[in-house]
Structure 1
Amino acid sequence: RGISSDERPKRPLTAYFRFLKDNHSAFRQKNPEMTNLELVKKIAGAWKELPASQKQVYEEARKTDWQRYTEQLAAYKAQLTPAQAAALKEEKRKRLAKRRSFKAKRELTVLGKPKRPRNAFNIFVSENFQESEGASPAAKLKQLFDAWQKMSSSQKQPYLQLAEDDKVRYENEMKSWEAKMVELGREDLIRAGQQRRKKKTAAPAKKAGTAKKAATAKKAGTAKKA
């Protein structure tokens, strides 16, 4: 039969997260006006100030659960067929790849990467979505798609022009953003095409620099002989 990673024993909580789980409700009752982030920071501060003897209680509970976890994990792995183990490994790989992708997108947002340009149809949809007919978002999109297909070239032209303008905006913003990333030492975030162009530009400059050094050295050698 198939087996899911949901059946895998759950890794036990750390000592701090046990403390957080045990005390979250009490802290919330005492500080109802706080946001979740503020509340977590307050609990983290309380954990730091907690005496070592009280922290040890949570640490011992973690050790007990960890021992049970390792035994359950060994039993879980022992029951897997090679095919099931391979399937779970692939599932884990996809899950980690998805997590890395999300983390990378979040980093780009923090770094202020410009938004990609919209095409003509996207602009048409954004301007007409609210007024379009349809009981659901999918129905609205279908209605707009059908309307777009029936539009003449002249009717589409304003949206095509807006799309071209947005493309120019994107390219200009990307050039500035990529220059900033180079200054920050994040060349890995530059588009592949831009990297190739930079290498082509750098190659002649490097060659010219090498030739200049050789000429200078030759001139110095000639002067020395004289």
Structure 2
Amino acid sequence: MAKGDKPRGRTSAYAYFVQTCREEYKKMHPNENVVFAEFSKKCAERWKTMNEPEKQRFQLMAAKDKKRYEDEMSTYVPKEAPRGKAARKEKDPNAPKRALSAFFHFCQDERPKVRAELGQSTVGEVAKQLGKKWQECTGEQKSKYEQLAAKDKQRYELEMAAYKNGGVAPPAPPKRDENNDEIESE
């Protein structure tokens, strides 16, 4: 067994019983599909009515499989999986920033107003209020932000194409002021 390949789990006596029943059923009805829900109920009823000597065969199979599992687990060495920050893929600092959605453009404009209204409030409370305000916006009001999002998506696609070809994204777009007028890049 290769390092990190965890052994298959143990099979119970009941699972061996169901497996045997299914094989028998398939032999008797080779062209018929098994409806698992009905088949499972019949197996459960049959298992309940079986006495201990009848179940013994399946219990022996389960005991043998338990031994196999314990033997394999005794030599099993799990892969060392990175945890926490190491598990995350390193982000290229040269990659372009993703496009913002219409809602995030709306939040950029409205967050200062909501924070002023709420005073001392948590980030979550501000976010909830912004969500409510977005829901209350009319289609006309949202269209302004949807246009900004479409523009930002185009920017991202262009920058991403350039980044994939050359490995470096072009400079970030100019920032906007409160009136959505562009301010020169720094």
Bin of the TM-score, shorter chain as denominator length: 0.3 to 0.5
- Which structure dedicates a bigger proportion of its chain to helix? 1
Question: Taking CA–CA contacts closer than 8 Å with sequence separation of 6 or more, which of the two structures ends up with the larger relative contact order?
Answer: 2
What's the TM-score, normalizing by structure 1? 0.36
